[in-house]
Structure 1
Amino acid sequence: MKTQQIKKRLKQNPYIKHLVLNFIMHPVKTRPQWWIRMFQFAYLKRGKGSVIYHSVRKDLVPFNRFVLGNYSIVEDFSCINNAVGDLIIGNNSRIGLGNTIIGPVKIGNEVNIAQNVVISGLNHNFLDPDKTIASQGVSTLSILIEDDAWIGANSVILAGTKIGKHSVIAAGSIVTRSVPPFSVVAGNPAKIIKQYDFEKKEWINLKS
């Protein structure tokens, strides 16, 4: 509750907000200042048996949540970022090599994410043609990946989408809309090519 009150007051005072943000985030590198990163051990919530490899870029700040569940792993050369929204990863989930995950994102339990996947709840604002895109700030929409999903290599999951339970995102897919549970999607934009029929107890091919 106190954290929310502080955030509200900062939003009401742009000058103080700017000072605090520059104290926490490097204005050019757009990552937490080194003195903030020194204390990540104190504000990151890590579950039993969880692993984050040393080569992972941890752009993780104290004013948003980061949770890594029990026995979950973030593989080498990934980037995890909660600067614009919470990043929650459940139990027994694997974030593969070279992934980029930018909150707000919630990943469930037993989720497998392959190599070089981008999952970003952030979009850059661009509507005013008289201003540079960089000066217009960002907007966010949460991403939810439910339990037991499998995200194939080189896929992109865009802001505001939901990946249903036990769904498969084929390698190289661009997910622009939510995926129902027990579905397989592929392509750019990703479309449903299979769904599980619980009455027939089989996967039904929907590809035309």
Structure 2
Amino acid sequence: MNLTKIKDKIKHSPIWKRRIHSWMFSNARPRLWVKWLVNPFVFHHGKKAVIRRQTVMNVSPINRFHLGTHSTIEEYTIVDNGVGDVIIGDYTRIGLRCTIIGPVQIGNHVILAQNVAISGLNHRYEDPTLPIHQQGVTTALIQIGDDSWVGANSVITAGIKIGKHVVVGAGSVVTKDIPDYSIAVGNPARIIKKYDSTINEWILAK
């Protein structure tokens, strides 16, 4: 049985999930033996990839973590793959004090400015007789396409797909997918410009 099949079996067993989580984590953070003895052998870091010293890496082998070639994660950012893979492409820069909670896929040549929050996790809340933290979570993959730029203090919500060469204005809250070659701003974010390849210009969205 290969490692992938073992992971799948554990994920579908609530008892084993609790046991493994307790063994590998303390207060939602990987134990030191996981960080120093396991992670270096299972996570991929591309050539000249940089993770700054003050970055908080809440990552473990439970899910994948990949940082591409020449990519950088700046100081005080939090990366958490506890509920889903975190995949970051090549030549991508994750700015200061960002939060990235999987499942998240970020493409190549992407720029995240400071204080961007990207979370593929949501807490369940439907049962009013239970505290929200006792109701579990749901996850939905967030995808950010190649060559995109997400402005400072923006929020990308679970399940969103941002296309290629997209600009998200500072302070935006993205609650709907954004197609390729678009500029979106606001809360909730709306598309204000699109690139027209027939005239090679950015035009106002109708």
TM-score normalised by length of structure 2: 0.95
Report the secondary structure of 1:38's partner residue. helix
Q: In structure 2, what residue type is equivalent to 1:57?
A: V
> Structure 2: which 5+ residue stretches go unaligned?
none
Determine whether 1:16 maps to 2:8.
Answer: no
- Aligned with 1:32 (options 20, 30, 51): 30
Report the secondary structure of 1:58's partner residue. strand
Q: Distance in 1 between matches of 2:36 and 2:46?
A: 20
Q: Distance in 2 between matches of 1:178 and 1:77?
A: 28
Q: How many residues align?
A: 205
Q: In structure 2, what residue type is equivalent to 1:54?
A: R
User: Structure 1 residues 157, 12: closer, same or farther in 2, change over 3 A?
Assistant: closer
Q: Distance in 1 between matches of 2:47 and 2:96?
A: 21
Report the secondary structure of 1:106's partner residue. strand
Structure 1 equivalent of residue 179 of structure 2: 180
How far apart are 1:21 and its partner, in Å?
A: 1.1
Q: Distance in 1 between matches of 2:9 and 2:180?
A: 40
The percentage of counterpart residues that share the same residue type is 48
Report the secondary structure of 1:35's partner residue. helix
Q: In structure 2, what residue type is equivalent to 1:14?
A: P
User: Structure 1 residues 16, 55: closer, same or farther in 2, change over 3 A?
Assistant: same
How far apart are 1:11 and its partner, in Å?
A: 4.3
> Structure 1: which 5+ residue stretches go unaligned?
none
TM-score normalised by length of structure 1: 0.94
How far apart are 1:17 and its partner, in Å?
A: 2.4
User: Structure 1 residues 143, 23: closer, same or farther in 2, change over 3 A?
Assistant: same
- Report the RMSD for the aligned CA atoms in angstroms: 1.4
Moved more, 56-65 or 38-47: 38-47
How far apart are 1:24 and its partner, in Å?
A: 1.1
Q: In structure 2, what residue type is equivalent to 1:35?
A: W
1:3–1:63 Cα contact (<8 Å) kept: no
Structure 1 equivalent of residue 205 of structure 2: 206
Determine whether 1:84 maps to 2:56.
Answer: no
Q: Distance in 2 between matches of 1:12 and 1:142?
A: 19
